[in-house]
Amino acid sequence: MFSRYKKPEQSKPQLVEVPKAAPEATAAPKHGNTVRRKPSQAAAQVVPMDKEKKRKERLGEIKVELHKRLLDNLNLSALETATETDLRSEISAIAGEALEEMAIVLNRDERSALNQDLFDEVTGLGPLETLLKDDTVNDILVNGPQQIFVERAGKLQLTDVTFKDERHLLRIIDKIVSAVGRRVDESNPYVDARLADGSRFNAMVPPIAVDGSLVSIRKFKKEKLAIDDLVKFGAFTEEMAAYLQAAVATRLNIIVSGGTGSGKTTTLNALSSFIDDAERILTIEDTAELQLQQTHVGRMESRPPNVEGKGAVSQRDCLKNALRMRPDRIIVGETRGEEVIDMLQAMNTGHDGSMTTIHANSARDGVSRLENMIAMAGIEMPIKAVRAQIASAVNLIVQASRLQDGSRRMTSITEITGMEGDVISMQEVFRYQRVGLTPENKIIGHFTATGVRSNFSERFRMWGYDLPSTIFEPFNGN
């Protein structure tokens, strides 16, 4: 149990109750035809909302004061070894004593909610803790202390969760980044980190963030979605799944393309399930999110520079070292910089079956993005040579998209077939065909093959994946 102590002369904080507003006088209408709501009706609509606001403010003030007392009284060094039951019991006891000293009476629900909030403040991330525990939430987006959005099923929603003030929000941010040995302040106003549960965290603080600190949390999915799950959710069809299984198993080099939140990492995780368990896989990520189920997996994560500006380890550094570790396949979580050179080299030099993701809106845009990344890396090559390198390295581009109704679909599967003059030749094998909208703004559409037979059909057959020709015939998905 924790050891507690009282300060010798601890003054009792005084909470000033906001006086109730006096009822407004009822003035006589100036015009005979003036329609005016009765005072009792106005009160019925205004007072409860005002009362609820005052109650929340009062509970917020009480929570801040009790949290200060907890920091004074709890034996913080014992937090790591204490059981949850002991900690909750101690917090409840300290809060009960403090409320009694402050002459504040709360009902059972208020006291229970207050104890839970205090527990989250001490052990977790304060107001964000309830959102992190909510399995329906995919993203948490904080725009200053009073505005917190979440994404559910592809749609953004404003929550009623708030921080007390900017200092409260900054304290939670500092708690997160200090746990992973990083810092954020005016001289270093932005930071990337990973929460204890694997969720991806990004924060930007004033003065760069003008209206209060900005926080973005991409929650880590504990349950890995398999191909069957994605088919059931309507992300693609069984025919497309059969094609992708053959593509992965026969070691085609695959790029998953898409915008932010389109499901690129989920798709990459699902595709990796087709990799043989006997292969050695090395993964390289900025923030470790991939959940590969194979036995022989080596995971690497890049690292930003320390406070002195030293010690950075980039994805390119990891990739260069990975090539010396005898990998069968290399999976890069996201290619967005100069590491594209090493990735394409790896795909071209015996590491068939490698995969990565990029940000792009279509397969053709994805190829252009690869060209731009090579140019930004400072490699001076004729454009034809750059395109020849891409065409020989990349076999397949899988396009993932988040549609306007929030649904995620695999909208295109495109093969790169080679070069025609100075242009990379491509053929689309499957696509998502939009038809219209329902009155509820839900997209109506279906998956279909384009009727073009795969350029890799012979490769599939040689590896024992003789796909029936009917897979490549136009069809309507579910």
**CATH number of residue 185's parent domain:** 3.30.450.370
Q: Could you tell me which residues are beta bridge partners of residue 332?
A: 284, 356
Please tell me whether residues 312 and 461 are part of one structural domain. yes
**Residues 390, 371 contacting (CB under 8 angstroms):** yes
Examine residue 25 and state whether it is found in any structural domain, yes or no: no
- Of the candidates 187, 220, 253, which is a domain's last residue? 220
Q: Are residues 293 and 151 in the same domain?
A: no
399, 410 Cβ separation under 8 angstroms: yes
Q: Are residues 115 and 156 in the same domain?
A: no
Residues 310, 353 share a domain: yes
Q: Is residue 459 part of a domain?
A: yes
Q: Is residue 22 part of a domain?
A: no
* Domain co-membership, 365 together with 458: yes
Q: Are 167 and 316 in the same domain?
A: no
Give the residue among 360, 357, 355 at the shortest CA–CA distance from 372: 360
Same domain, 319 and 437: yes
Can you give the CATH number for the domain in which 333 is found?
3.40.50.300
- Cβ contact 236:409 at 8 Å: yes
- Asked if 94 and 213 sit in the same domain, the reply is no
Among 123, 151, 178, residue at a domain's last position: 123
Query: Is residue 93, in this structure, part of any structural domain at all?
Result: yes
Q: Are residues 251 and 128 in the same domain?
A: no
Q: Comparing C-alpha atoms, which of 200, 204, 178, 180 is closest to residue 191?
A: 204
User: pLDDT digit of tens for each residue in the chain (478 aa)?
Assistant: 444 434 444 444 444 444 444 444 444 444 444 344 444 444 444 445 566 666 666 776 776 777 666 666 665 555 556 677 777 777 787 777 777 777 777 777 777 877 777 777 777 788 888 898 888 898 999 999 999 999 988 789 999 888 888 988 998 898 888 877 778 888 889 888 888 888 889 999 999 999 999 999 988 777 777 888 888 888 989 999 999 999 999 999 999 999 988 889 889 989 999 999 999 999 998 877 888 888 899 999 888 777 677 888 988 899 989 989 999 999 998 888 888 988 898 898 778 999 999 999 999 999 999 999 998 888 888 999 999 999 999 999 999 999 888 888 999 999 999 999 999 999 999 999 998 888 888 889 999 999 999 999 999 999 999 898 889 988 765 5
Its domain, for residue 439, covers: 227-472
Q: Report yes or no on 477 lying in a domain.
A: no
CB 234 within 8 A of CB 478: yes
Separation CA 210–CA 201 (nearest Å): 19
d(CA 96, CA 446): 59
- Scanning 186-314, the segments in alpha helix (DSSP H) are 227-232, 238-249, 264-272
Q: Do 290 and 345 share a structural domain? A: yes
Given 200, 220, 240, the domain boundary residue is 220
Three-class HEC string of 370-416:
HHHHHHHCCCCCCHHHHHHHHHHHCCEEEEEEECCCCCEEEEEEEEE
- Same domain for 315 and 187: no
Total domain count for the chain? 3
Domain assignment present for residue 272? The answer is yes
422 and 321 together in one domain: yes
Residue 237 lies in a domain: yes
Q: Which of 429, 420, 281, 413 is nearest to 355 (CA)?
A: 281
In a domain, 37, yes or no: no
CA distance 227 to 273: 8
Instruction: Report whether 313 contacts 320 (CB < 8 A).
Output: no
